[in-house]
Amino acid sequence: MSLLDASGGGICHKEEVHASSSLPKHLDSDSPLLSVRSVAKRYGARIGCKDISFDLWPGEVLGVVGESGSGKSTLLGCLSGQLRPDGGEVLFDTRDRGPVDTLRMSEPQRRHLARTDWAFVHQNPRDGLRMGVSAGGNVGERLMATGARHYGRIREAASDWLDRVEIDTGRIDDRPRQFSGGMQQRLQIARNLVSGPRLAFMDEPTGGLDVSVQARLLDLLRGLVRDMGLSAVLVTHDLAVVRLLADRLIVMKDGRVVETGLTDQVLDDPQHGYTQLLVSSVLQV
Amino acid sequence: MIEVQNVSKEFTLHNQGGAVLRVMEGASLTVAKGECVALTGASGAGKSTLMRMIWGNYRTDHGMIRVGDAQISGAEPRRIIALRRSTLGYVSQFLRVVPRVPTVRVVAEPLLALGVAEEEAEARAAALLTRLNIGENLWGLSPTTFSGGEQQRVNIARGFIHPYPALLLDEPTASLDAANRETVMRLIEEAKMRGAAILGIFHDEAARERLCDRQVDVAGFVPGRAA
């Protein structure tokens, strides 16, 4: 549409070209970044999740909501290679080989993917950070794992990322345990995003934080998703968080998807009885 | 530019014994480029419902809704997201923002999503906020702390920062003083001049008279009481 060109008109500074050129890539993309087909996982006789299928497009944030026990964390584990599903396919559009079923990848290949193109943000930063290693070391580790060797450059990248997640770069040599919960969470995000991943899995990334800290983190995540063209699968039980962060929603109950759609459509005009109950149960402030 | 054809809407309340509320039937209207059309009718008659169906946060189960070349009814979410980013703007009565984000960022955000550079986006936001009488001392604060009228103007700035070819306006002049009301009416007139198709709800009769080329009474879309 010509209007898109018009809106970017008059921009000629070099550093801005990158931001402007990221848009067509999102809009013109004809292939999903992640295609999930009939993923299922049982724990003995109990269903973890079943019949899960969806596509995730580049630059899109997909929220997965439901009560605890609805299977959303199981699903996230299956997608990110932390759990082994009993069946189904998880096709990821790799940079060099196109769509590959990550469930049938060799372990070294999957580990490489997890260190480069994927990010995983845990609810508890302690699960995603190395608590005995400095903040700079936490961020730099992922770069070293992908072959970076130049100490000065690694430290520079780490410092740059601490700045992006609003951590004072003067604290680059401090251990994460000296940080507040909100800072630890931002450090975990920096550690994950330093390699420029295309897909982030997030498990309740704002859970356990004070509301004021939550707001700052939400704003940070929104900016990163927009600027990096990052796609994300975001698991949370917090409908206010998905309203602000997710483009699209999947509602899960008893391990199954009961409803999907545009985020504000699912929240404002829920079709399934369970979603209606979920939406009407939120406390108004 | 905006086309609504034989649209019906019902809500099924699964947790209230599956009660079915039929709220709209046979709704049809079109808004051409450069035209401003007012939705009229008593409150509860379905004006906002129709606006939300065009915006896409209410599902269209029967009938067809189109904005430009894109069909809203039955569209994949990502198509609607793309449409909202570039083509369809909406000024609602509620401001929904991430808390603690400065006002100037809130207004610049639609431009950032379109890939406009930060500096330019914020400069355009600042210019529009100035025009709408939001003082510079407020730009760095979150609009969640603002008065109703100020929030309304921030909402309007967000809706007019990008020249959307189609606009939905829900009571854009409500809760504004005379000077600000005049500014908002000028913004709407300028949007018409550049060819935007505008569908709005205006309880402000004088504003409606001045801005709107036609009126569509939603009373005609209220379903028969048969159900």
What would the pLDDT profile of A72-102 be if each residue is shown by its tens digit?
Answer: 999 999 999 999 999 999 999 998 889 999 9
Q: Which run of H or of E encompasses B193?
A: helix B178-193
Does pLDDT of A14 surpass 60?
no
Q: Read off the tokens for B144.
A: 């969640």
- Confirm whether A59 is domain-assigned: yes
Asked whether A120 and A201 are in contact (CB, 8 A), the reply is yes
pLDDT at A121: 93
Instruction: Give the residue on B whose Cα is nearest the Cα of A7.
Output: B116
Res. A135 pLDDT band, cuts 50 70 90: very high
**Backbone torsions φ then ψ of A103, nearest 5 degrees:** -75, -20
Whether the Cβ atoms of residue B175 and residue B156 lie closer than 8 Å to each other: no
Q: What is the pLDDT of residue A224?
A: 86
Note whether B80 contacts A262, CB cutoff 8 Å. Answer: yes
Radius of gyration of chain A (CA): 19
% of chain A with per-residue pLDDT over 90: 64
Q: Cβ of B183 under 8 Å from any chain A Cβ?
A: no
What domain range includes position A110?
42-129+198-282
Mean pLDDT (whole number) for A255-265: 96
> For residue A9, what pLDDT is reported?
36
Q: Is residue A153 part of a domain?
A: no
Contact across the interface for B58 and A268, Cβ inside 8 Å? yes
Query: A6 pLDDT exceeds 70?
Result: no
Q: Determine contact, residues B197/B35, Cβ cutoff 8 Å.
A: yes
Span B206-220, average pLDDT: 95
User: Is B15 an 8 Å CB contact of chain A?
Assistant: yes
Number of structural domains chain A divides into? 1
A59: its two tokens: 């630059």
Mean pLDDT of chain B: 93
Q: What number is the average pLDDT over the span B142-150?
A: 91
Q: Give the contacts of A112 (CB within 8 A, at least 6 positions apart).
A: none
Which residue in the block uniquely carries the two structure tokens 């955000």? B109
Residue A217: pLDDT band (50, 70, 90) is confident
Q: Return the pLDDT at A34.
A: 96
- DSSP assignment of B41-95 equals S-TTSSHHHHHHHHHTSS---EEEEEETTEE-TT--HHHHHHHHHHTEEEE-SS-
User: From the CA of A244, how many Å to the nearest CA of chain B?
Assistant: 7
What is the spatial distance between Cα B146 and Cα B137, in angstroms, rounded to a whole number? 12
For the segment B49-76, what is each residue's pLDDT rounded down to a tens digit?
A: 999 999 999 999 899 999 999 999 889 9
Position B93 scores a pLDDT of 86
User: Is B6 in contact with B27 (CB distance < 8 Å)?
Assistant: yes
Residues A144-159 have pLDDT tens digits of 888 888 899 999 999 9
**DSSP-assigned states of every residue in B134-150:** --HHHHTS-GGGS-HHH
pLDDT category of residue A213 using cuts at 50, 70 and 90: confident
Residue-wise pLDDT tens digits, A176-195: 999 998 899 999 999 999 98
Strands B2-13 and B62-67: antiparallel
| Order of strands, sheet of A98-101, starting from the edge strand that comes earlier in the sequence | A46-56, A34-43, A87-94, A98-101
Amino acid at A155: R
A22: which chain B residues are within 8 Å (Cβ-Cβ)?
115
SS3 A173: coil
pLDDT at B100: 84
A162-177 pLDDT, tens digit each: 998 889 999 999 999 9
Supply the Cα-derived Rg of chain B in whole angstroms.
18
Interface of A with B (CB under 8 A): 1, 3-4, 6-8, 10-11, 13, 15-16, 19-23, 27, 57, 60, 211-212, 215-216, 218-219, 222, 226, 243-244, 247-248, 261-262, 264-265, 267-269, 271-273, 276-277, 280
Q: Say yes or no to pLDDT of A4 above 80.
A: no
Asked if B82's CB is within 8 angstroms of A277's CB, the reply is: no
pLDDT at A28: 53
pLDDT given at position A285:
53
A240: enclosing H helix or E strand: helix A239-245
Secondary structure element (H or E) that encloses residue A87, with its range: strand A87-94
CATH number of the domain bearing residue A245: 3.40.50.300
B65, B58, B79: which is closest to B31 by C-alpha?
Answer: B65
Q: Report yes or no on A176 lying in a domain.
A: no
Compute the nearest-CA separation of B59 from chain A (Å).
Answer: 7
User: Do B157 and B132 touch, CB atoms closer than 8 A?
Assistant: yes
The gap from C-alpha B5 to its chain's centroid, in whole angstroms, comes to 19
Closest-CA distance of chain B to residue A44, Å:
32
Angle made by CA atoms A25, B119, B106, in degrees to the nearest 5: 80
ipTM: 0.92
Res. A215 pLDDT band, cuts 50 70 90: confident
Q: Where are the domains of chain B?
A: 2-221
pLDDT of residue A16: 35
CATH number 3.40.50.1820 is the correct assignment for the domain at B2-221: no
- Mean pLDDT in residue range A202-217: 83
State yes or no: pLDDT of A21 exceeds 60: no
Mean pLDDT of chain A: 86
User: Amino acid letter at A245?
Assistant: L
CA distance A73 to A64: 9
pLDDT at A284 (0 to 100): 62
- The per-residue pLDDT for B115 is 92
Q: What is the pLDDT of residue A15?
A: 35
The total number of residues written for chain A in this structure: 285
Distance from CA of B124 to the nearest CA of A (A): 11
Burial of residue A51, with CB atoms counted within 10 A of its CB: 0-12 exposed, 13-18 middle, 19 or more buried: middle
Separation CA A139–CA A148 (nearest Å): 12
| CA dihedral sign, ordered A99, A102, A103, A106 | positive
* pLDDT at site A29: 66
Q: State residue B96's pLDDT score.
A: 84
When pLDDT is averaged across residues A52-63 and rounded to a whole number, the result is 94
Residue A238 within a domain = yes
